């Protein structure tokens, strides 16, 4: 009985849950890599096509739709219809890195890319975790592991998406801004140009946080744009613009607007009879209005700038015209904001926080195959995070007065 009384059941539960989820993810990743149907159905096939074209025919040709189709058809062994192609439509400056990992062996290429994405994600999580005060070594690993098994993170890695690079850029940005290294922060944030709509969304609000960071952000973005133009040349740039126009239609394979976790996806699921084009136009208008509202929020709100940034990420994800499950990895930033604030108020809160994070991970993990909950919980999470970031100071005040 004495032995049982000394056991830390909360810690046992957290470690067991993390190990169970990690093991499941490793098994699922192995199944994907070993099953030709599943591995070629992943988003990585578009990255593979772009990397292979760049390696064999030059980066300037990666946005030629016919070449992408040719490479993808070579992996799936059947002819793709006009809109069945999974397009590579991201900016090209990561392609040299991708091309280094690409070989004729699709499975090995995918595995190497997964490992790289996992390493980048771990670096990002370590950067964020180092900004949380007062943790013991075991608590530090608990937090990092609970973020690593956050289901959207696994979805990003298992699909071969490049969301990990966005998470790294934003993590370095947060580190820089909280440590008065604003030039580093702005340069890191320019990584958002991987998602041009996200880069534009945060450009103007940054003006109200730090002019130095904004200048570095613009400089880094311009440098990446010049690098992209130099890689593509004139014709390659025109091919890229043409491909973006195709993607914006929302009708090609992989767009799956009804499966998105933004307002557009929500509207299309709630009102299946609505015309997709009308819903798309409404979403763009709301996105622009939200962007303008975010500028006013940064200019006038008195809460801390890092909380404003975390709130803006939630708002961006909700209103973005294009958002799939793997993009929800960026919710780790507002989650980090709340965890850090709680620990600054009272490090004793870390035990409750660790349990709450595992509860969140398990809720996503266990409802992954329940469509209603799978599509509902992320919206609830976004709402709770937005509320938490806006009301943290008030909640801390009420808590402190109640304890007195």
The tens digit of pLDDT for each residue in 112-138 reads: 999 999 999 999 999 999 998 877 888
Quick: pLDDT tens for 202-252.
888 888 888 899 999 999 999 998 998 898 888 888 888 888 777 666 555
What mean pLDDT do residues 281-289 have?
Answer: 89
In the chain, pLDDT over 70 holds for what percent of residues?
91
Distance CA(328)–CA(103), nearest Å, equals: 30
Q: Are 75 and 40 in contact (CB under 8 A)?
A: yes
Confidence of residue 3 (pLDDT cuts 50, 70, 90): very low
Quick: pLDDT tens for 155-177.
999 999 999 999 999 999 999 99
Please tell me the predicted confidence (pLDDT) of residue 2.
46
Distance CA(357)–CA(348), nearest Å, equals: 15
Please tell me the predicted confidence (pLDDT) of residue 322.
84
What mean pLDDT do residues 332-355 have?
Answer: 84
Please tell me the predicted confidence (pLDDT) of residue 251.
56
Above 90 in pLDDT, residue 22? yes
Quick: pLDDT tens for 351-382.
788 888 999 999 999 999 898 899 999 999 99
Please tell me the predicted confidence (pLDDT) of residue 279.
85
- Longest C-alpha distance within the chain, in Å? 76
Please tell me the predicted confidence (pLDDT) of residue 360.
93
Name residue, tokens 């995918």.
110
Above 80 in pLDDT, residue 403? no
Please tell me the predicted confidence (pLDDT) of residue 164.
94
Whole-angstrom CA distances from 331 to 28, 102, 114, 328, 386 are 23, 30, 21, 5, 10
Name residue, tokens 């709630």.
270
What mean pLDDT do residues 1-12 have?
Answer: 61
The secondary element (H helix, E strand) that includes residue 223 is helix 211-248
Above 90 in pLDDT, residue 25? yes
Above 60 in pLDDT, residue 254? no
Please tell me the predicted confidence (pLDDT) of residue 208.
85
Please tell me the predicted confidence (pLDDT) of residue 359.
92
| Mean per-residue pLDDT of the chain | 86
C-alpha torsion angle, residues 165, 169, 175, 178 (rounded to 10): -150
Please tell me the predicted confidence (pLDDT) of residue 20.
95
More confident residue, 90 or 146: 146
Q: At CA 310, angle to CA 397 and CA 97, rounded to 5? A: 150
Quick: pLDDT tens for 42-53.
889 999 999 999
Distance CA(148)–CA(157), nearest Å, equals: 11
């Amino acid at each position: 009985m004495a032995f049982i009384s000394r056991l830390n059941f909360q810690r046992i539960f957290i470690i067991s849950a993390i190990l169970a989820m990690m093991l499941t993810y490793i098994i699922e990743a192995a199944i994907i890599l070993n099953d030709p149907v599943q591995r070629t159905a992943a988003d990585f096939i578009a990255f593979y096509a772009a990397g292979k074209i760049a390696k064999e025919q030059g980066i300037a040709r990666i946005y030629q739709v016919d070449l992408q189709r040719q490479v993808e058809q070579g992996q799936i062994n059947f002819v793709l219809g006009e809109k069945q192609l999974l397009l590579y439509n991201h900016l090209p400056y990561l392609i040299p890195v991708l091309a280094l990992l690409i070989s004729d062996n699709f499975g090995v290429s995918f595995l190497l890319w997964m490992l790289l994405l996992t390493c980048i994600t771990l670096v990002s999580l370590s950067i964020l975790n180092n900004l949380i005060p007062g943790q013991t070594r075991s608590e530090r690993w608990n937090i990092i592991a609970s973020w690593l098994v956050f289901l959207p993170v696994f979805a990003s890695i298992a699909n071969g998406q490049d969301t990990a690079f966005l998470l790294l850029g934003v993590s370095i940005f947060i580190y820089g801004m909280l440590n008065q290294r604003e030039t580093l922060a702005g340069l890191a944030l320019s990584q958002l140009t991987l998602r041009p709509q996200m880069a534009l969304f945060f450009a103007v609000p940054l003006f109200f946080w730090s002019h130095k960071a904004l200048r570095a952000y613009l400089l880094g973005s311009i440098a990446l744009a010049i690098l992209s133009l130099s890689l593509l040349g004139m014709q390659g740039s025109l091919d890229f613009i043409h491909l973006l126009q195709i993607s914006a239609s929302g009708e090609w394979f992989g767009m799956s607007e009804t499966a998105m976790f933004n307002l557009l996806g929500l509207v299309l699921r709630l009102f299946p009879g609505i015309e997709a084009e009308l819903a798309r136009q409404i979403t763009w208008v709301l996105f622009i209005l939200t962007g303008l509202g975010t500028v006013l929020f940064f200019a006038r709100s008195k809460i801390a700038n890092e909380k404003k940034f975390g709130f803006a990420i939630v708002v961006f994800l909700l209103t973005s015209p294009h958002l799939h499950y793997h993009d929800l990895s960026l919710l780790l930033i507002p989650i980090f904001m709340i965890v850090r604030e709680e620990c600054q108020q009272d490090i004793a809160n870390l035990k409750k926080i660790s349990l709450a994070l595992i509860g969140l991970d398990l809720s996503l993990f266990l409802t992954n195959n329940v469509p209603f909950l799978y599509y509902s919980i992320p919206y609830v999470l976004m709402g709770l995070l937005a509320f938490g970031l806006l009301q943290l100071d008030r909640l801390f005040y009420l808590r402190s007065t109640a304890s007195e």
